[in-house]
Amino acid sequence: MAAATIHIRVKYGISTEEAGDAADLNLLNSDLGSGQTPASYPITVPSVGTNYSYERKFRLKVENIGDSSRIQNLRVYADTATPSTGCTIKYGQTSSYATPVNTESLVATDAIPTSLPETENLYCGGSGGGYLGATGEYSDYGVLQLVVDTTATSGGNATITVAYDEVA
């Protein structure tokens, strides 16, 4: 069977969506698309208070539904929510897009789950139980943000996983 082709599309700026699959979901100090050199856009450690990356916003797009009938049960998690001391990856979701901010996100408010969540945490159509059933359809937006406090150390890594189920 021809598997569905699903893209993870990064969106940034006022309303710029990348035309292809995201090269990465890196969290930067500028509101840019994927494929940047992270070292060129570091989030600095504050002497007081908290610094924030720009929100990284992404959503799934059914590029080609293939022989599948639906894409569902979208879940986002990471291998760690604290890639280094003083740094936290926050996650949230929203059905509507707004220009990413580098202040405290009103969407990515929870530490990202560190294992596969039992239930979906990236909706289709604004609420749980939805699905993508045709080429060209989009999920809601997943939103990531890196929170850096005064104790932060540099150099951490994390792996973000986007999981979805494909029904033949």
Partner 1 sequence: MENNQIQLTFPENEFWQWIEVYDDKVIAQFDSIRHFSDIDQENLKRFIMVHKLSNTAINIPLTDGRRLIHFYRNYVKYDLVSVEDKGHDHFRFPVVGYQITKNNTNFKVLLGLMPDGRVEVLES
Binding residues vs partner 1 (CB under 8 A): 1, 3, 6, 8, 22-27, 35-39, 42, 67-69, 78, 83, 89, 116-119, 154-168
Identify which of residues 74 and 107 has a Cβ nearer to partner 1 in the complex. 74
Q: Which is nearer to partner 1, 143 or 158 (CB)?
A: 158
Phi/psi-derived region of residue 109, left when phi > 0, alpha when psi is between -120 and 50, beta in every other case:
alpha
Distance of CA 65 to the CA centre of its chain: 22
Q: Judged by CB, which is closer to partner 1: 53, or 94? A: 53
Q: What is the DSSP letter of 61?
A: E
Considering the complex, what minimum distance in angstroms separates the CB of residue 23 from partner 1? 6
Nearer to partner 1, 6 or 143 (CB): 6
Name, in order, each residue with C-beta under 8 angstroms of 100's C-beta and a sequence gap of 6 or more.
12, 13, 31, 54, 55, 56, 57
Smallest gap, in angstroms, from Cβ of residue 63 to partner 1?
13
Q: Which of 42, 31, 59 is nearest to 122 (CA)?
A: 59
Give the residue from 67, 68, 71, 77 showing the smallest Cα distance to 118: 77
Nearer residue to partner 1 within complex by CB, 95 or 153: 153
Q: How far is the CB of 111 from partner 1 (least distance, A)?
A: 14
Minimum separation from the CB atom of position 91 to partner 1 (A): 12
Q: Rounded to the nearest whole angstrom, what is the least distance from the CB of residue 126 to partner 1 in the complex?
A: 22
